[in-house]
Amino acid sequence: MKEKEKDLYAKLGVSSQKKEVHEAIKDIDKGLFPGAFCKIVDDIAGRKDYCSIIHSDGAGTKSCLAYMFFKETGNLSVFKGLAQDATVMNVDDLLAVGAKEGMILSNIIGRNSRLISGEMIAQIINGYAEFCEKLTSIGLNITFCGGETADIPDLVRTLVVDATVFTTVKKEDVIDASRIQPSDVIVGLASDGKAVYETEINSGIGSNGLTLARHGTLSHHYYNAYPECHAEEGDEKLYYFGKWNLTDEVKELNMTIGEALLSPTRTYAPVLIEILNKFKDQIHGIIHATGGGQTKILNFGNGIHYVKNDLFEIPLIFKIIQESSNTPWKEMYQVFNMGHRMEIVCNEAVAPDIITIAKKHEINSKIIGFCEKAEQKNRNSLEISTEIGTFKFNKH
């Protein structure tokens, strides 16, 4: 394996594990449920049986890709997708701890006003309003409360699209992933395809790993065409070293490579709400497989060896990224969701019912793995077995 192929994501200045961030916050209070997917604190209104959660996330460097795609095609609608990305990255994290009622959302946009026009900003803000209305119509009541647009060209090269979501939840309804048991199974919900509540086919990309996807898939002529869309530091050979142009068609997906990379992040809200309403007590953990990709689960549970031995077929977009960038497959599983972005860790007895609920929404679902006791006490481990190979990971 060539040195370039090792930890390519880090060479681009990004970390899928964010070890230095976790080290910085290791001594900060972990909240009421330290093992939960999100930090949970005392209820803001002082109710003893409730707790509060506030969560922030965003579209990441997908916003830079949207800017490039707009410049190439004139398609303003791609900016609306960023609002969905930022919303889902928050909402589906909150669903992972059992929160499913009464959320409020505020957005933050940081732009280089020399490059990002008012028309683009209007698309994003309207996108937030429309997607919140969409979520409410499919069962998740969320109110868009506006936000802040900051003109900060000294700090931002193109565009940053972030959001914050707040909610409260009954303590008895919290899904605490510290309850994950060695006898549990892992049910995966597919990230690609077209759910009944979606208007177009989803490539499955989500909002993680777009720095690697962008540079590893797109050709080097974008390096000079859009100097605002790469860091000034680093080796030029690592920037836009792929084989594709944004407008190249991916016939199997009936979309261009740019559209495939910008495919808005799917929400699993209707599926998770129904599952939580029916089987909450049988669910021991819900893992939103975002940062860290298929290794995200390592951060939850205690002394668990996770085995993923029946994953979905890898969506075409990830095959394209891997082939174009020559990223090692093990790193692909550390960076991307690779076919499913939501995992429900539960008693095996309810797995068939969960799968049925997902399929009712036309989202492919199956048992993709299981849990057993780890060899080392209090240290999680993971084994991913695929036709490509077997990959092993340990929690640091």
Q: Which residues pair with 382 in a beta bridge?
A: 306, 393
Give 34's Cβ-side CA count (13 Å radius): 6
> What is the pLDDT, as a whole number, of residue 49?
97
Phi, psi of 29 (to 5 degrees): -55, 135
Judge contact between 265 and 127, C-beta under 8 A: no
The runs of H, that is alpha helices, within the chain are: 8-11, 19-24, 62-73, 78-95, 118-137, 210-217, 221-225, 257-261, 269-279, 316-325, 329-335, 351-360
pLDDT in tens, 364-374: 999 999 999 99
360, 299 contact by CB (below 8 A) = no
Q: Say if residues 159 and 120 touch (Cβ distance below 8 Å).
A: yes
The pLDDT of residue 3 is: 39
To 5 degrees, how large is the angle CA 32–CA 185–CA 282?
50
Output the CA torsion sign for 232, 338, 308, 58.
positive
Greatest distance between any 2 Cα atoms in the chain: 59
Residue 57 is encoded by which pair of tokens? 């996330």
Closest CA to 290 of 188, 369, 208, 204: 208
* Residue 181 structure tokens: 């048991």
Q: Which two tokens stand for residue 223?
A: 């390096």
Q: What is the DSSP letter of 215?
A: H
pLDDT score at 25: 52
How many residues does this entry show for the chain? 396
What pLDDT does residue 83 have? 98
The structure tokens listed for 333 are: 């599983």
What are the phi and psi torsion angles at 278 (to 5°)? -100, -30
- Give the pairing type, strands 381-385 and 304-308: parallel
User: Which of 175, 207, 189 minimizes the C-alpha distance to 343?
Assistant: 189
Q: Bridge-partner residues for 256, per DSSP?
A: 249
Q: What is residue 30's predicted lDDT score, i.e. its pLDDT?
A: 78
Helix (H, G, I), strand (E, B) or coil at 202: strand
Could you tell me which CATH number the domain at 3-394 has? 3.90.650.10
Bridge partners of residue 380, in order along the sequence: none
The whole-number pLDDT of residue 23 equals 58
DSSP code of residue 70: H
pLDDT tens digits, one per residue of 257-302: 999 999 999 999 999 999 999 999 999 999 999 999 999 999 999 9
Q: How many C-alpha atoms does 355 have within 13 Å on its Cβ side?
A: 14
Residue pLDDT tens, the chain, 396 long: 343 445 776 776 665 555 555 455 555 777 999 999 999 999 999 999 999 999 999 999 999 999 999 999 999 999 999 999 999 999 999 999 999 999 999 999 999 999 999 999 999 999 999 999 999 999 999 999 999 999 999 999 999 999 999 999 999 999 999 999 999 999 999 999 999 999 999 999 999 999 999 999 999 999 999 999 999 888 999 999 999 999 999 999 999 999 999 999 999 999 999 999 999 999 999 999 999 999 999 999 999 999 999 999 999 999 999 999 999 999 999 999 999 999 999 999 999 999 999 999 999 999 999 999 998 888 999 999 999 999 999 986
165 phi, psi to nearest 5 deg: -125, 140
